[in-house]
Structure 1
Amino acid sequence: MATETVLPVIDISQADRAAVGKQLLDAASTLGFVFIEGSGFTADEVDVMFQLSKDFFAQPFEAKQEFQISAENRGYSCLGREVLDTAVGKSDPKEVFNFGQFLGGKAIQPLPQLFAQSEQTLDDFTRKAHAVCHKIQNLLALALEIDPAAGGETWFSDRHDLSKFSGSILRMLYYPALQGTELAGDPTADIRAGAHTDFGSMTLLFQRDGQAALEVLSPVTKQWTPIPALPARDSAACPPIVLNIADQLSFWSAGLLKSAVHRVKFPSLAIEGGKDRYSMAYFCHPADETLLEPMPSPLVQSRTGRGANAQETVITAKEHLARRLAAAYGWKK
């Protein structure tokens, strides 16, 4: 690709699955972020979803607020509602809408009319995103040499069964354009989503060309590294998707797989041009009752005293998520 990037670009549709799995493991065990191609998503599928997002966030506040976010992490969150960087305690100037699971093609939450009219489209997109995560999970399990007698390649994907309740979320995000006056006297005003790690096992991030803003804190250089929004090689395919490892997968692997700190910071060109930013994220979580116990991988079992290999009491994926949401929204656990 013409655009330079610090992240590798991995085509998960390649025939040599062992080689792809190793590439994914190398990326997941260093920065924890990678670009994914060969997902099967088309440009049209992603464009339709971004248009739905834009149409929803353009509605009056009162209409959106009728579906305000619940303790189950579903619904609309307004500007300043979410605090991702709990150490700083500053709320994020962004709007989001979270979709929980779709069971039998139907959302398990009330939907605004705009989304209810496109329920099948939303269900299809969510299922496709989950299937991409399953494919990546199987490739990682292959590279991790998970004991076949214990589940082998499907050890992760079996624990991410979409027919069971989980914390998996499809999130639409809107970052309103900044004005120059908003930056006066506040050096952090251009940070639109505070520094954080993701709560689940892995995240797929869909970005718009020309709306780059994601930054990752490199565990090597300890510097914030901008991640571009890459264009697609093929006009019919969606642009490369950003994949990042999240907390539960890092915990499971005793820290072998990295859940890196990242944030959204408006670049100067976006501020000068008065550009909004839209993105979509699919947060893939294990089924609620999944135990975050040591995984049967020789690469992980040797890492004693860390993550799942060090815990005295095994917790479930649901318990882990509840703790993180309580911190982000100020809810009681």
Structure 2
Amino acid sequence: MSSEQENPLQVVDISEINQRTADELLNAATSQGFLFVEGHEFTEEEVDLLFKVSKDFFALPAEYKEKYPIDNTNHGYTNYGGENLDPSLQKQGDPKEALNFCNLDFTTVKFPTGSMKKKLDPKILALALKIEDSADCPGTQWFNSRYQPDKPSGSTFRFLHYPGQKSLNPESVIRAGAHTDYGSVTLLFQQENQEGLEIYSPVAKKWQPVPYVSANSAKFPVVNIADQLSYWTGGILKSTIHRVKFPQKVQETGQDRYSIVFFSHPNDDALLEPVPSEIVRSVKNRGANSATNVITAKEHLDKRLAATYGWSY
């Protein structure tokens, strides 16, 4: 396994879906809220091709990219400074650019047997949380019923480009401000020698850098819990604060950073109410999950986007 720096995250092998795998995932999700996934079956060629497409797009002239500005559905191109993930820290916005693909049509998607989608489907979460059956909904279907492919959701596929330090003001240390992700689960691919992701560890109570990790040419994606899954579980699953801050070696080389992210969201009308699980019921203070303050997935997403981009709804 390649990594020059200490890895604070658990590596979970999802080659087999069983109670042991589910328990390992639950341990990672309830402690750091971030983990590496092994056995996902994305090929090196597939990942490399996506990074090439991303790099080719960001190399296009600014006047071309700006023809497709991000809109209030979260779809389109964001130029440098257009997104501000931590308004309390800075006013000028994050020194990065991004391209979002939203309004995705999941009714036409075909996932091969054994793919990561099949392996990280709601079954493993149902096993982990021991979701209970009800008269109208088996426990393994609780999440499926909130991810119906023919209904709209905030799910987003994203290319990101962070320019090298030498092309920026030397004081531009933070590339993406401290934030939590807005959906349920996030999948991130990063590249070797382009590190920068840091999490504010709920365990160590400090910022910890996340390395690039691979084994036998297989790139290990980072998976993290996001806000809406944390809502569903009363905060048991951690939506951990994270940011992008270039480490010293990347700053010195002036290396650009490219990353590819998929933000998974439930259907827009899904209520962020507690999962039917004794594990979740054991939480004494559910906060925003309380019965008097249940919102939909879209209401939460709209609120977060408005704060990030200065939009109003």
TM-score by length of 2: 0.92
- Inter-CA distance 320–151: structure 2 relative to 1 (3 Å threshold): farther
Distance 1:254 1:162 in 2: 26
- The answer on whether the counterparts of 1:133 and 1:202 sit within 8 Å (CA) in structure 2 is no
Structure 1, 95-104 or 5-14: larger mean CA deviation: 95-104
Deviation for aligned residue 1:302: 1.9
Indicate whether 1:323 and 2:303 are aligned: yes
From 236, 244, 247, the equivalent of 1:267 is: 247
Distance 1:132 1:82 in 2: 29
Residue of structure 2 equivalent to 1:54: 55
Distance 2:168 2:79 in 1: 21
Distance 2:280 2:118 in 1: 21
- The answer on whether the counterparts of 1:252 and 1:308 sit within 8 Å (CA) in structure 2 is no
Deviation for aligned residue 1:51: 0.5
Distance 1:154 1:48 in 2: 34
Alignment of 1:62-141 (within 5 A): 62-90=63-91, 91-103=93-105, 132=117, 135-141=120-126
Q: How many residue pairs align between the two structures?
A: 307
Q: Deviations over 1:166-224 (max 9, x none)?
A: 000001000011118722xx3xx211000000000010001111211100001233211
Corresponding residue SS for 2:143: helix
- Give me the identity figure in percent: 48
Residue of structure 1 equivalent to 2:290: 310
Distance 1:234 1:162 in 2: 34
Runs of 5+ consecutive residues of structure 1 not aligned to the other structure? 107-122
Distance 1:14 1:95 in 2: 37
Question: 4+ residue stretches of structure 1 with deviation over 6 A?
Answer: none
Letter in 1 for 2:57: F
Structure 1, 319-328 or 309-318: larger mean CA deviation: 309-318
Letter in 1 for 2:151: K
Deviation for aligned residue 1:274: 1.1
From 128, 150, 157, the equivalent of 1:163 is: 150
Indicate whether 1:240 and 2:220 are aligned: yes
State the Cα RMSD in Å: 2.2
- Inter-CA distance 13–288: structure 2 relative to 1 (3 Å threshold): same
From 8, 11, 14, the equivalent of 1:9 is: 11
- Inter-CA distance 5–100: structure 2 relative to 1 (3 Å threshold): same
Distance 2:299 2:267 in 1: 11
Alignment of 1:260-299 (within 5 A): 260-299=240-279
TM-score by length of 1: 0.86
